[in-house]
Amino acid sequence: MLLSNKVAVITGVNSGIGRKAAEVFAKNGAKIFGVDVRTDCMDNLKNVVEGFGSEFYGCQCDVRNAEDVKSALQKAVEHYGAIDIMLNIAGVSCDKPITRISEDEFGRVMDINVKGVFNFCKYVTSYFKKQKHGVIINTSSITALCGSGMGCPYPASKAAILGMSKTLAFELAPWNIRVNTVAPGVINTEMVSSLESSARKTFEKSIPLKHMGDAEDVANAMLYLASDMAKYVTATNICVDGGYRPSTVNL
């Protein structure tokens, strides 16, 4: 029980890596405050989390909206009494060549992926500073380090998260607040489930371990960073990618 009685706020909890992180954290004793703009799967997740003997509180929230974010964090504190861990997982992509990407599409990716993380980091920091401890884990991507075949807004947003997180780690260290990132590679989630079999095979060939990762692989890395096993780890990034490098894909 690595997170016994800890309270974790998790964005993007309705599906994918966010949902799996909620399950893995709950199995390890954390109380979950789940945030997502969608809520259709939250009742089911609540049952799963409670089945592990933990607690779940779901909250609809648009991460782009500062008032929504402040309200969500206030509800978390009112419900559980404190926040110990902040997981920023909510994100979207835009897989098009640059000539077909509109300003609105670029802005949407940046607003959700970057501004959303900024909002939660900004407002959870006030609570963490008062209690003089806290853990922030932000979700980047291997594409932030190596680029991608197309869809430049996504790697751009994930690279911004790396820079933001490292800076926050330095800024917040005096209050015993640790800030780290996890950079997933190609993971079996809704983002890649729509790929044709030929595209999946192309990806798998470019992964040294020869298969895509699972959401649980990413959640386990986050579990390590959130736990006291990583109490001396901050300002770092963990790649969970099977050795995958986008530049090795045949473009």
Q: Which residues are catalytic?
A: 154
CA angle 94, 20, 65 (to 5 degrees): 50
Q: Are 124 and 73 in contact (CB under 8 A)?
A: yes
Q: What's the longest Cα–Cα distance across the chain?
A: 52
Query: What three-state secondary structure class fits 226?
Result: helix
Distance CA 187, CA 192 (A): 7
Task: Classify each residue of 1-40 as buried b or exposed e, where b means 16 or more C-beta atoms within 10 Å of its C-beta.
Answer: ebbeebbbbbbbbbbbbbbbbbbbbbbbebbbbbbbbebe
Strand order in 237-240's β-sheet? 56-60, 31-36, 7-11, 85-88, 134-139, 177-184, 237-240
Nearest-angstrom CA–CA distance, 80 and 27: 18
